[in-house]
């Protein structure tokens, strides 16, 4: 069982998103009635960390290679598409 101290978040993580990526995040969040963008990002991180099938990243990969919408040119996940029922 978690104590209330376990939920204290002392670290801040800042990321930059394109307008399209932010809209995708917000659409996903609202469709699931998530209370905030931060809670949606934490849920997506939890799901991503539990997911299987992510290949090792190639040497020389850059941050810009990893986009939220799957349209990044050289991302190991660039060919992955959201299932039709979860597109938004």
What ranges do the domains of the chain cover?
Answer: 14-77
pLDDT category, 69, cuts 50, 70, 90?
A: confident
Q: For residue 76, how many C-alpha atoms fall within 13 Å in the half-sphere facing its CB?
A: 11
pLDDT value at position 3? 53
pLDDT category, 78, cuts 50, 70, 90?
A: very low
Phi, psi of 55, deg, nearest 5: -70, 160
CA distances from 46 to 41, 51, 60, 61 (A): 9, 9, 26, 23
Phi, psi of 4, deg, nearest 5: -65, -30
């Amino acid at each position: 069982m978690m104590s209330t101290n376990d939920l204290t978040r002392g670290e801040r993580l800042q990321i930059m998103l394109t307008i399209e990526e932010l809209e995708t995040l917000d659409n996903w969040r609202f469709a699931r009635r998530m209370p905030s963008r931060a809670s949606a990002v934490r849920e997506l991180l939890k799901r991503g960390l539990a997911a299987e099938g992510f290949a090792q990243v190639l040497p020389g990969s850059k941050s810009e290679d990893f986009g939220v919408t799957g349209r990044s040119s050289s991302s190991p996940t660039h060919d992955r598409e959201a299932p039709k029922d979860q597109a938004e």
